[in-house]
Structure 1
Amino acid sequence: RRPTAASPATPFVTEASVEAEPDFDVVVLGGTLGIFAASAFQARGFKVCVIERGPLAGRNQEWNLSLDEVRDLVDAGALHADDIDGAVGTPGKYEVLAGADDTLVASHFGSVRAGFNDQEHGASGSGGALQEVWLPSVLNVGVRPDVAVRRARRRFEEQGGVVKEHTPCNGVVVGEKSAQVTLAEEVITTRLVVDAMGNASPVARQCRREANDGADPRPSGICCVVGTSMAGFAKDNSYGDLIYTNEDTRIHQERQYFWEAFPAMSLGEDARTTYLFTYLDADEMRQHTVEGQFEDYWRMLPTYQKHNADCLNSKRIEDALEDGDLILKRCLYGLFPTYKDSPLPTRWDRVLAVGDASGVQSPLSFGGFGALTRHLGRVTDAVEDALQNDALDRASLTLVNGYAPNIAATWMFQKSFVHPVSSQRPASFVNRLMRQNYVNMEDLGDDVLRPFNQDVVQPRALLQVLGLATLRDPLNILPLCYWIGPQELVEWLGHFGMMLLYDGAHHVLGKRVRAYSHRLPDQRQGFALRRLADAWEYGSGMDY
């Protein structure tokens, strides 16, 4: 539903004359993820300041990603190679490595599965009707956020960066020579403002509102997530689930539920973080609450995790918690709105968004750390290029997070996961579709399976998967087209065509365009060409 709160009387970002010389090259708003961007910018020799309204600290709950994505932070300059410590060895299948206290990598497990099942068929490895597709090195590393943030901050400050925590930002004024950032007790100026405040960013909200005649736009989709971190899974805590179903769509509730779960060694050898999530549209007739989804979570959890905790075979969840068989560490929930007009183009000079605030994440994901690590090197290069060549106008900065056809194409996947209000779509629709697609990807090998499960869509790999789906389950093609709808299909075909064009342009012209861009007398034009080459590479998934 649309937000009911009134729009703020004063916009967060305004434009006016700012005569003061800049105090900083970059001011980053939002420190928990912004500190990684700030550290990378500072490592390039710029003068950077981070503003955080609360304490600059990561929470005690692991972020899951792959070890390669952790190392992307080193490549971008946000962390030092020595910062990557802990459980960095190579685990075997059904093996979990635990990092010592105060190391970065707390958990590293060798097995992550995906599976789409109409019921809970049995424990992992039991075979039969149980679908289990094992994914190579996908979200199988648990990073301690508190350690990651602390180490990025240390590196940042050692190189001369400035941190202002417990410091709310009250607004930004953009001028010709610099931008003015108004804090609670002072005003600072900068050449560039970087918004790292996530989905709830007032900058992003104002940007979308101004593009929608002053009203908050309705989200194109929503991912609703609930979950817990709990100890007590000593029976089997040897693998993670990336995406797993054990029932078909709940037609009466108009939702398809998915599970995700990972070992959490930072909380104990028998600790596990478990999520139940679903994809929704913003139809005003939809009846859905986070509280109601949490009630479903507690009712469904024993069936799902009875293979991991013995107590769930004989006890209700309430009794297992009361008797101390399970120990609740934390309850988790979130609503992640997504918009089709993503990535979000900037509407002002000297303002650039990164991470979730920019909309570069896939509409299928519900966490921005992986999206930040994937794009951090590209964004850092672009910020350095923009500052060196004074390409800080709106038109230039919009090119940093330009149209990405592979992100746009994932909207059809999200659409297929949403059960429309009052729809007669079969309950088995999602499981049938995804079960076949995962069989196809598994048969095509890791080069197809791994990128797709890290939210990187590549056109030639996708073409192979869809071709196999047509050959192996042709009777599902017409129902799929019917339930997706002609408008979504036409839009998707357009984005898929652009993916193929971007793929070809990257391979044929990418290096030539980059080389030519450095020979231009006007390096603002060179900046634009380099961002075009970035768009071809990232928009076709060829950065992977």
Structure 2
Amino acid sequence: MTLTTEILSQLPGDVLTGLRRADSMLTNLRQGNQVIPQVVTVSQENISTREWDVIICGGTLGILLGAALAMKGIKVALLERGILRGREQEWNISRKELEVFLELNLLTATELTQAIATEYNPARVGFHQGTEVWVEDVLNIGVDPLYLLETLKQKFLAAGGTLLENTPFSGVVVHPNGVVVNDTYTSRLLIDAMGHFSPITQQARGGKKPDALCLVVGTCAEGFPENHQGDLLLSFTTLENQCQYFWEAFPARDGRTTYLFTYMDADPQRIGLETFFEEYLRLLPAYQNIELNQLTFKRALFGFFPSHRQSPLKTPWNYILPVGDSSGCQSPLSFGGFGAMVRHLKRLTDGITEALETEQLSASALQLLQPYQPSLSVTWLFQKAMSVGLQQKIAPQQINQLLSAVFAEMQQLGEPVLKPFLQDIVQFSALTQTLLKTNFSHPMLVAKIIPHVGLISLINWLLHYINLAMYTILFACAQILQPWEKNLSPVAQYYWHRWVDGWKYGAGKDY
């Protein structure tokens, strides 16, 4: 019996079956065996009535946007395949990012405080035989999903929202003047918040394999010595299974959560989730300096997160907008989920409201709500540098040495450079300073990047880097022109605001 089978069999629920089901999905994705859903069809006939302004499919994170829209007086229905409730495991985020809940009047200050289950400081970034950096107030807040979602659920209902629980999405027909969802519910706009594996997203991507994957496994367990510190990104091994292993750890309400994650391509011969979980259990004692038999495991965590270079996703249909993980609006370094949704919550709330008010609901108009962001696209090179091809030969310690050098330079440049990057935000000035310092301090190490990532990837990255500079300039110009926008018509203002939002987020100026 493997360690994975032994430990997961002790947990409540059929966790081992869930892990193997996820592994099967991963195998099918890697082999290109996925059936492409055909859930979106188009009709040339108008619908006679549109009962709602917006229908949101996917309630777990869709409730954030649904509540924000409902409190603006928009008529919203939310479809959730089960009962809308949060999970046991906290969502990690930085305190500053939570201010959007106050700004949109979704939570009171008291409610926001109650939603915070855990908080820790400091957090560590470290690499095998190299740099160790400590930071404060970065992804150090654990939000209670059970409390947060229940509170937003009640706010949503009080604002007039309609919650349709136990109502899985089955299909949508796009008409010239709106959509019909599940052959029953009519609306002016459908918002897809069903996540990475949304059938709408799968159909829009046409079964294309992801360009990269992030595999994550972990547990929450009791029995660790008291520790109020955390790890954001830590490695203590060289390459294993043609992967660089990274760890994350932080206090939880009922123990300590530890994750193991790694980046890779979608080659079918890559390591699977169950094998990766076995690696996690093999290495956990060395990582946390504790024996497995000293721990009481409360729950297991596992998943895989696909990334596509063609992101955020722009669907070809009118009246359909993907948000959150459905749109792929996170970088290939990020797990996405709660943090990515919160980061874009105000932008999406304002943009969708304007789109409804000005009837800008065509595919081309809605695509502006999920703009190209060079601040995310430049991170593809980082993902490439943190992974290794299945047949590629590099020194076992090369990734650790590169990351150690980069973070040492960022530490010297200070928190304005280091903190945004750790929160998945890249800015032109910070990136340029880091690149210059690293290149001058470690020229031989930087030279190894070219054969590692490939010349084509480097040229592609250079284009995004130039665009990052351009977006920074464009956003600065937009700030100067802000008083002029009041002279625009409402429709023109919609387009202007979307361009400015694109420049702002594309330059990492939302930090």
Q: TM-score, normalised by structure 2?
A: 0.92
Deviations 1:408-442 (A, max 9, x none): 11000001111111111111111111101111111
Alignment match, 1:457: 426
- Paired with 2:313 and 2:258, the residues of 1 have a C-alpha distance of 31
Alignment match, 1:364: 333
Deviations 1:126-182 (A, max 9, x none): xxx6x4211221110111111110011111111111111111121111112221111
Identity %: 38
Instruction: Assess if the C-alpha contact under 8 Å between 2:215 and 2:304 holds in 1.
Output: yes
The Cα shift of 1:13 comes to 4.4
Q: Which moved more, 1:481-490 or 1:491-500?
A: 481-490
Alignment match, 1:240: 230
Alignment match, 1:126: none
Distance 1:5-1:343 versus aligned 2 partners, 3 A rule: closer
Do structure 1's residue 498 and structure 2's residue 467 form an aligned pair?
Answer: yes
Do structure 1's residue 255 and structure 2's residue 238 form an aligned pair?
Answer: no
Alignment match, 1:273: 257
- Paired with 2:299 and 2:205, the residues of 1 have a C-alpha distance of 33
Structure 2 residue matching 1:117: 3-state secondary structure: coil
Alignment match, 1:95: none
The Cα shift of 1:287 comes to 3.0
Structure 1 residue matching 2:309: 3-state secondary structure: coil
Do structure 1's residue 334 and structure 2's residue 317 form an aligned pair?
Answer: no
Structure 1 residue matching 2:257: 3-state secondary structure: strand
Structure 2 residue matching 1:538: 3-state secondary structure: helix
Structure 2 residue matching 1:170: 3-state secondary structure: coil
Distance 1:4-1:43 versus aligned 2 partners, 3 A rule: same
The Cα shift of 1:511 comes to 4.5
Alignment match, 2:202: 205
Alignment match, 2:487: 519
Deviations 1:265-298 (A, max 9, x none): 2x1xxx11111001010124x3311111111111
Alignment match, 2:378: 409
Aligned amino acid, residue 519 of structure 1: N
Distance 1:79-1:207 versus aligned 2 partners, 3 A rule: farther
Alignment match, 1:117: 128
- Paired with 1:193 and 1:230, the residues of 2 have a C-alpha distance of 40
Instruction: Assess if the C-alpha contact under 8 Å between 1:76 and 1:376 holds in 2.
Output: no
The gaps in structure 2 that reach 5 residues or longer are 1-29
Deviations 1:459-506 (A, max 9, x none): 110000011101111111221122111100000000000000000111
Instruction: Assess if the C-alpha contact under 8 Å between 1:230 and 1:272 holds in 2.
Output: yes
- Paired with 1:29 and 1:52, the residues of 2 have a C-alpha distance of 6
Structure 1 residue matching 2:60: 3-state secondary structure: coil
Give the 5 Å matches for 1:7-22: 7-8=36-37, 10-22=38-50
Instruction: Assess if the C-alpha contact under 8 Å between 1:21 and 1:178 holds in 2.
Output: no
Structure 2 residue matching 1:33: 3-state secondary structure: helix
Alignment match, 1:121: none
The Cα shift of 1:80 comes to 3.3
Aligned amino acid, residue 220 of structure 2: S
Aligned amino acid, residue 236 of structure 2: N
Structure with more helix by fraction: 2
Alignment match, 2:394: 425
Deviations 1:231-282 (A, max 9, x none): 111x2421111100001112xx1111000111002x1xxx111110010101
Aligned amino acid, residue 274 of structure 1: T
Alignment match, 2:507: 540
- Paired with 1:389 and 1:445, the residues of 2 have a C-alpha distance of 44
Alignment match, 1:98: none
- Paired with 1:12 and 1:330, the residues of 2 have a C-alpha distance of 37
Alignment match, 1:78: 106
Deviations 1:86-112 (A, max 9, x none): xxxxxxxxxxxxxxxxx3111011211
**CA-atom RMSD, angstroms?**
1.4
The Cα shift of 1:508 comes to 1.9
- Paired with 2:182 and 2:44, the residues of 1 have a C-alpha distance of 13
- Paired with 1:145 and 1:511, the residues of 2 have a C-alpha distance of 40
Aligned amino acid, residue 529 of structure 1: W
Structure 1 residue matching 2:127: 3-state secondary structure: strand
Instruction: Assess if the C-alpha contact under 8 Å between 1:39 and 1:156 holds in 2.
Output: yes
Q: Which moved more, 1:74-83 or 1:274-283?
A: 74-83
Do structure 1's residue 54 and structure 2's residue 82 form an aligned pair?
Answer: yes
Structure 1 residue matching 2:217: 3-state secondary structure: strand
The Cα shift of 1:383 comes to 0.4
Do structure 1's residue 6 and structure 2's residue 3 form an aligned pair?
Answer: no
Structure 1 residue matching 2:173: 3-state secondary structure: strand
Instruction: Assess if the C-alpha contact under 8 Å between 2:91 and 2:145 holds in 1.
Output: yes
Instruction: Assess if the C-alpha contact under 8 Å between 1:240 and 1:260 holds in 2.
Output: yes
- Paired with 2:173 and 2:388, the residues of 1 have a C-alpha distance of 43
Structure 1 residue matching 2:227: 3-state secondary structure: coil
Structure 1 residue matching 2:170: 3-state secondary structure: strand
Alignment match, 2:14: none
Match of 2:213 among 222, 234, 238: 222
Alignment match, 1:92: none
Instruction: Assess if the C-alpha contact under 8 Å between 2:39 and 2:170 holds in 1.
Output: no
Instruction: Assess if the C-alpha contact under 8 Å between 1:60 and 1:146 holds in 2.
Output: yes
Alignment match, 1:383: 352
Instruction: Assess if the C-alpha contact under 8 Å between 1:2 and 1:217 holds in 2.
Output: no
Structure 1 residue matching 2:448: 3-state secondary structure: helix
The gaps in structure 1 that reach 5 residues or longer are 86-102, 119-128, 210-215, 307-311
Q: TM-score, normalised by structure 1?
A: 0.86
Structure 2 residue matching 1:401: 3-state secondary structure: coil
- Paired with 1:172 and 1:80, the residues of 2 have a C-alpha distance of 36
Do structure 1's residue 68 and structure 2's residue 79 form an aligned pair?
Answer: no
Instruction: Assess if the C-alpha contact under 8 Å between 1:37 and 1:78 holds in 2.
Output: no
- Paired with 1:438 and 1:511, the residues of 2 have a C-alpha distance of 35
- Paired with 1:221 and 1:500, the residues of 2 have a C-alpha distance of 26
Match of 2:187 among 184, 187, 190: 190
Structure 1 residue matching 2:214: 3-state secondary structure: strand
Structure 1 residue matching 2:53: 3-state secondary structure: strand
Instruction: Assess if the C-alpha contact under 8 Å between 2:354 and 2:494 holds in 1.
Output: yes
Match of 2:405 among 432, 436, 449: 436
Alignment match, 2:27: none
Alignment match, 1:161: 161
Instruction: Assess if the C-alpha contact under 8 Å between 1:133 and 1:438 holds in 2.
Output: yes
Alignment match, 1:478: 447
Alignment match, 2:342: 373
- Paired with 1:7 and 1:196, the residues of 2 have a C-alpha distance of 18
Structure 2 residue matching 1:378: 3-state secondary structure: helix
Give the 5 Å matches for 1:168-179: 168-179=168-179
Structure 2 residue matching 1:72: 3-state secondary structure: helix
The Cα shift of 1:515 comes to 4.1
